[in-house]
Chain A
Amino acid sequence: MKLNELNIIEASEGLRKKKFSSLELAEACLERIKKTDDKIKSFITATKDIAIEQAKEADKKIKSGEMSDNLLLGIPCSIKDIILTKAVLTTAASNILKNYIPPYDATLISKLKKRGMVMLGKVNCDAFAHGASTENSDFFTTHNPWDLERVPGGSSGGSASSVASSQCIYSIGTDTGGSIRQPASFCNLVGLKPTYGRVSRYGLISMTSSTDCPSIMAKNVLDAAIILENIAGKDKKDATSSDEKVDNYKKFLDDENIKGLKIGMPKEYFINELNNGIKSAVQNAIKKLEKLGAEIIPISLPHTKYAVSVYYIITPSEVSSNLARFDGIRYGYSKIQNLACRQAGSKFKIQNLLDVYLKTRGRGFGSEAKRRIMLGTYALSSGYYDAYYLQAQKVRTLIKKDFDDAFENVDIIITPTCPSVAFKIGEHSANPLEMYMEDIFSTAASLAGLPAVSIPCGFAKPKDGNKNLPIGMQIIGKAFGEKTILKLANVYEKNTEWQKMKPEGL
């Protein structure tokens, strides 16, 4: 097996036993990126020199015996380009930030650096994380390693493609309404969205402040648990971060007994319209868990069908506020200078401050960013605030209450992660509303702030193709119940072979 194909545990053991160095590990990944990224296009910014320097530092630490229990030391990863990395170009995949250099690291990056991360580069996403396919990147589309004509999912598409194609060992992305879970499902990976507040949002380029979660893309459940331990925790720079104790998630996976664990199966997620292959894969997975000792309980989450509507009012509303800072004044793309044409009377002339805002934002933002800003501006405007935003906030309370009520009787809820397997590039990009419907199973857990992980549970053929494509199963837990959802996910993974399958022909 090539070094870049290892997972965290295998790589860490190899480093510990001196079978190879972190530098060799990094070089294997860099070689893989060089060989495959022309076709896959995961990376916006490759940070080869930084990776090599960090790998050499890690090797020094390993040599001096600093390894002990630090499993992330010297392990190469990719970072979604919506997370700030000091002195390294961070663009949010948007033209309006195409020249932006952050003056500070996100808290999760500081934590990973202290643990000896090796950063291979910043990976592609939908611009400002607005999307479910990575087609909304202002720069280029990323391709799914399982079928290059298809999307890797979004918005953390680059995170998914870089891990699935073994360009790196793990990736950090974000999940606001499904953005780590859906790409994980499309690419046969483990995508973990922690409880809102579990991981500090400081240093995330904000999208929907009330649901944004730094999230994990990993090759297996144990890797995800290890990463979570290292990035979770209270941060005084994020007022919404929780001081709930960070569990020893990895240790909790040692217990593989799920007897008596109550799994809720919400009927609203197993609708007739669901692709048959997905429905049967998830149902079979649940049957398997039942054989392993879990108790399956049918439940109802009655407000499920409103989740997408609530999300697509709340998200644009918060986006319209969060993206107001991109105005061409302090950073990023700017029309503050009248570069285009200096003739008086020309329509390109920047007349005043208002022009700077109008033209900077008009030229700098992509279509989806504009759509969301405008939807949000409308929903929050006088005369419409009560009907749209306030109503959405109230229905959000009901959606959360559905989960709270269900969790009185069950420990875990299982659903399909998304309604389809990876779709073809271009299939939904012309219809924004169709793209929003991709989030149909993932938004409710986001709105309720609950932890949710997507893990591989099978394969199915799409309507328009012959290749078998990955299917993900979503496991939702109580607030701060990551150890329970990871335990169940781990048990399922240990008793199946799905995650061992890798895309071929790259």
Chain B
Amino acid sequence: MPSNNKLTYKEVEHIAELARIELTEEEKRKFSSELSDVLGYVKQLGEVDTKNIEPVSQVTGLVNVLRDDVAEGCDEDARKIIIKNFPQEKDGYIKVRQVK
């Protein structure tokens, strides 16, 4: 476990950038302190001996649950709703900013 759990203002800026969230100055300060508190608490996991322990990412034990690779259609009223949800739309297509 990292020995230092304090998140600096700069680190908070970096994480926010990775997470694609624009924070206000006040939020950066607030989160720096709140997140540091949480990291300080979870630090206790460092004391658990996990040598030779396998990580679990899901508890069902299921593996390779697949379906046939066949495209399924979409009913018309669903399609209409999906298009209605687009923030910007043209001729039934989503309109987005240029990907540069």
Contact = CB atoms under 8 A, between A and B. Distances in A.
A479 B23 CA distance: 42
A329 B94 contact: yes
A336 B35 contact: no
Contacts of A100: 85
A451 to B, nearest CB: 12
A399 to B, nearest CB: 9
Nearest to A327: B20
Interface residues of A, number: 75
Contacts of A305: 44
A242 B60 contact: yes
A240 interface: yes
Interface string B47-80: 0101001111111101001010000001001110
26 contacts: A103-B74, A103-B82, A196-B59, A242-B62, A310-B45, A329-B87, A330-B87, A332-B85, A334-B88, A356-B96, A359-B22, A361-B19, A361-B22, A362-B24, A377-B19, A378-B11, A392-B42, A393-B56, A395-B50, A396-B55, A397-B53, A398-B50, A398-B53, A400-B56, A400-B59, A436-B41
Contact of B22 (A324, A362, A371, A390): A362
A242 B65 CA distance: 11
Interface stretch (A23-31, A52-60, A268-276, A380-388): A380-388
A416 to B, nearest CB: 21
Contacts of A396: 55-56
Interface in A307-362: 308-310, 312-313, 320, 324, 327-332, 334, 336-337, 350, 352-359, 361-362
Contact of B54 (A352, A353, A361, A397): A397
Contacts of A309: 41-42, 44-45
B97 A350 contact: yes
Given A370-B23, A371-B31, A381-B18, A353 B37 contact: no
B52 to A, nearest CB: 9
A357 to B, nearest CB: 4
Interface string A31-62: 00000000000000000000000000000000
A280 interface: no
Interface of A is mostly: helix
Nearest to B42: A309
Contacts of B62: 197, 239-240, 242
B18 A397 contact: no
Contact of B86 (A310, A327, A330, A390): A330
Contacts of B65: 239-240
A95 interface: no
Interface of A: 86-87, 100-104, 196-197, 210, 236, 239-240, 242, 303, 305-306, 308-310, 312-313, 320, 324, 327-332, 334, 336-337, 350, 352-359, 361-363, 365, 367, 370-371, 373-375, 377-378, 381, 384, 387-388, 390-398, 400, 432-433, 436, 447-449, 479
Contacts of A394: 48, 50, 53-55
Given A390-B55, A396-B55, A397-B53, A354 B79 contact: no
A448 B74 CA distance: 36
A378 B34 contact: no
Nearest to B43: A309
B10 interface: no
A436 B41 CA distance: 11
A378 B41 contact: no
Contacts of B99: 353
B70 to A, nearest CB: 12
Nearest to A364: B21
B21 A358 contact: yes
A306 B55 contact: no
Most buried by A among B38, B53, B62, B99: B38
B36 to A, nearest CB: 10
